[in-house]
Structure 1
């Protein structure tokens, strides 16, 4: 299983069976939007045609349902941007900023953890244990959406280091590696990420976050949820909202109440039966 820690006001994830994939610039680590990009290759105009051809090939390999007018416009904007930047060898910083802006705006990230019992994460991400944790089936179809080249996505393990990875803008074949490298300080999260390119426009909400990014809520099937863990400080209102969502959406999962151990610095989980619907 992979786990998502959520505060009490995000009970809508269970109510609506939809969850946010977050752009890079809206993530809580400032290094997410400051990648160490090696732009030395961009100084050679001979590489421009190769890169444009790669983008054209990427488009041709997309599933037909992804070849929308909106996605084509995004691709054409990226091609035009690269053409402009290639003509200016002194635009290294501009290249980084613009590429990250494109990457961040149209790629969404779902951050998950391999642990359901990390005290720091319960404190930070569930509003001091007032929220809950969802245990997702890592083999569920929600994690296997096709990428632009038609391959299924899968959760990607985040690696942690004190040394920043250098990402070559052109020759690096794994473009998602830039999304799965984080400082060592974050290692306690045991994070795995699911990345989505060209987030479907029909799931864009009318809201923006504090960083000015659009909010996309991507639906998932009810069988993706295997377990739910309710924080020890959750209010009665939060608990009732969770119970009602499980029953309304026919979610077949185990539900646990959380309590602190009296002998160790760790959490205990006790499975409970849901109260009968009124």
Structure 2
């Protein structure tokens, strides 16, 4: 390609979620190898606080993983939604859901109801490697989600699963 086409969806916001918290690949890819964090949501109550006049509409949609994506004409009413909720089959281990929002402003911040957050998970490299980020996460928990437990996530030393060490409740 001589030129690169950029995504010009200035009025669309996408926030991704997964059905799983205990996947090594997810922690490697999306938290920069345990240098990040994740929120666990109560599945039945996941929702965003709608800011007045900033979010026109939103939907929570499961991502689909077809063997071969279908070409969709962009003038179809569902075309953008299809593009934003379809990934190749080899990504299906992510078990992803997305909140797709149509925005009325440049504000890209989503705020969640405190009761929607079930737990906070911190990659094991944060407490020692990024003390300021660790303190910030603890402050966020204390101010916004005081009844939410925090876990540090470690790869198990001998088995192929993750360990979750509770540090706060």
Identify the TM-score tier after normalising by the shorter chain: 0.7 to 0.9
Equivalence for 2:154: 259
TM-score by length of 1: 0.50
Equivalence for 1:131: 36
Judging changes above 3 Å, is the alpha-carbon distance between structure 1 residues 185 and 143 closer, same or farther for their aligned structure 2 residues? Answer: farther
CA distance in 2, matches of 1:257, 1:244: 16
Judging changes above 3 Å, is the alpha-carbon distance between structure 1 residues 182 and 141 closer, same or farther for their aligned structure 2 residues? Answer: closer
Equivalence for 2:141: 246
Structure 2 unmatched runs, 5+:
none
SS in 1 for 2:109: strand
Which protein has the bigger helix share?
A: 1
Q: Would you say the 8 A contact 1:132–1:230 is kept in 2?
A: yes
CA distance in 2, matches of 1:241, 1:248: 10
Judging changes above 3 Å, is the alpha-carbon distance between structure 1 residues 229 and 250 closer, same or farther for their aligned structure 2 residues? Answer: closer
User: How many Å apart are 1:129 and its aligned residue?
Assistant: 0.4
Q: 1:270 aligned to 2:159?
A: no
Judging changes above 3 Å, is the alpha-carbon distance between structure 1 residues 258 and 249 closer, same or farther for their aligned structure 2 residues? Answer: same
Q: 1:140 aligned to 2:35?
A: no
Cα RMSD for the two superposed structures:
2.9
Judging changes above 3 Å, is the alpha-carbon distance between structure 1 residues 240 and 167 closer, same or farther for their aligned structure 2 residues? Answer: same
Q: After the TM superposition, which residues 174-253 of structure 1 pair with which residues of structure 2 at under 5 Å, given as runs? A: 175-201=80-106, 203=107, 216-236=108-128, 237=131, 238-253=133-148
Judging changes above 3 Å, is the alpha-carbon distance between structure 1 residues 199 and 253 closer, same or farther for their aligned structure 2 residues? Answer: farther
Number of residue pairs matched by the alignment: 160
SS in 2 for 1:244: helix
Deviates more, 1:255-264 or 1:183-192: 255-264
User: How many Å apart are 1:180 and its aligned residue?
Assistant: 1.0
User: How many Å apart are 1:255 and its aligned residue?
Assistant: 1.3
Q: Which structure has the larger Rg?
A: 1
Judging changes above 3 Å, is the alpha-carbon distance between structure 1 residues 121 and 174 closer, same or farther for their aligned structure 2 residues? Answer: same
User: How many Å apart are 1:116 and its aligned residue?
Assistant: 0.6
Equivalence for 2:15: 110
